[in-house]
Structure formats: C-alpha cells, structure tokens
Copies of this chain bind each other. A is one copy, B any other.
Amino acid sequence: MDRPDIPDIVVSRLPIYLRALTRMALEGQPITSSHELGKRLGISSAQIRKDLSHFGEFGKQGTGYQIKFLVDQLRRILKVDTEWAVALVGAGDLGHAIARYNGFSDRGFRIMLVFDNDQAKVGTELSGYLIHHTSELSALISEHHVALAMVAVPAAAAQSVADELVKAGVKGILNYAPINISVPDDVHVQYIDPVVHLQRMTFYV
C-alpha cells in the first residue's frame, strides 16, 4: 500500500463517486457540487469534500467540481486509467453471467483468462473466451502477469483456488463464493454474496 495514511473506508467510497460522476458526464453535465453529488448518493457533502481532500484540491469554493476533470483524477487515483486484465475462475451460471457482462471494459477491466475444472467445458468458449482447465491456472496467470481474479466456484473449492491464484501472483481477488478465504497480507479480497446483502436489510424490515 503506497498511501497508508488514507483510511480504507475513504478508498471504498471513491468507486461510488466515480460511478456517479461518470454517469453525470454521460448525461452531459459539466459541473457538480459536493451537495448535489451527496444528494444523489445519500452521503453528506461534508463527507465527500473530506474524502476528496485526502487526494488534493479538485474543486473551487463556489464553483464546484468540473466533472470530467474529477472523473479523470479519480480514475488515476484508483489506477483504472489503464486497463486491468482479470482472470475468471468458474464457468458455471455465475461465471457465464460475469463473462457476458459488458460493464467491465469502460471502467478499467477486461477478462483475459477463464478457467473451469470441468473437462467437458475445457476447450469450449464462454462468451468468446476459451475455457482453460484450472490445472493451467498458475502457468497462464504468471505468463500473462494477471494481477486480479474473480472467483465464481462453489464454496468448498474457493480456498484452494485462492491459494493457486496467490501462488501465481494475483494481488486482488473478488470472491463470489459464500465463504471467507485466507490470503497473505499483501493480497486483497473483496466479497460478493447476495445473501449477506439481503440479511443486512432483513434486520431493519
């Protein structure tokens, strides 16, 4: 981590700002304010200004933010001003949906390698991607210097897949399997589990 002074919670909000600002830009809007952005996101304007102030001075008092400029800055800060190659492990229903999702490329990511352990799938194509056997995972990921991976395998297989990914040099894992995985300190893990999100709402309903 090259900026140990910035709280993770601040970093975690930047992609949300980037997403909303990108949409405003697409809608043709040139300028926004922390107030307007906050209203759109349900976050206080003070929070937004404080978060952004960690990285520099992006707006002027009274005139707000130039949206296109702020989008460029956020892409640079999050390092998505270049494209990241991503490996996808698991070519089942979820892997299929991920491979066909067209929202990666314009936001900094491109699926480059797809793996599955089902010999019947290996050698076939998934949404244009050749499916490789997971036994090739380590060699191919090392060869292509892929630093990010999405794991869409059953819970029971997730830890061993993560171990392989880490050995191959992957530094960030987006884990769709409903289980916590252990990785070394220099590897980052994010989780997507719809049930966890649903259970975060039922408490209140």
A interface residues, Cβ below 8 angstroms from B: 1, 11-12, 14-16, 18-20, 23, 40-42, 77-80, 84, 86, 93-94, 96-98, 100-101, 103-104, 107-109, 147-148, 150, 155, 171-172, 174, 178-180, 182, 188, 190-205
Indicate which residue in B78, B98, B178, B180 contacts A194 across the interface (CB closer than 8 Å): B98
Which residue from B23, B86, B93, B200 sits with its C-beta under 8 Å from A15? Answer: B200
Asked if B180 and A86 sit within 8 Å, CB to CB, the answer is: no
User: Across the interface, do B100 and A93 meet the contact criterion of CB distance under 8 Å?
Assistant: yes
Q: Give every chain B residue within 8 A of A98 (Cβ-Cβ).
A: 194
Q: A178-B19, A180-B20 are in contact. Are A205 and B94 (CB under 8 A)?
A: no
B197 touches A16 (CB 8 A): no
Min Cβ gap A23→B in Å is: 6
**Contact, CB under 8 Å: A180 / B100:** no
| CB–CB B180/A201 < 8 A | no
The answer to whether B197 touches A107, judged by C-beta atoms less than 8 angstroms apart, is: no
Query: Cβ of A205 and Cβ of B42 under 8 Å apart?
Result: no
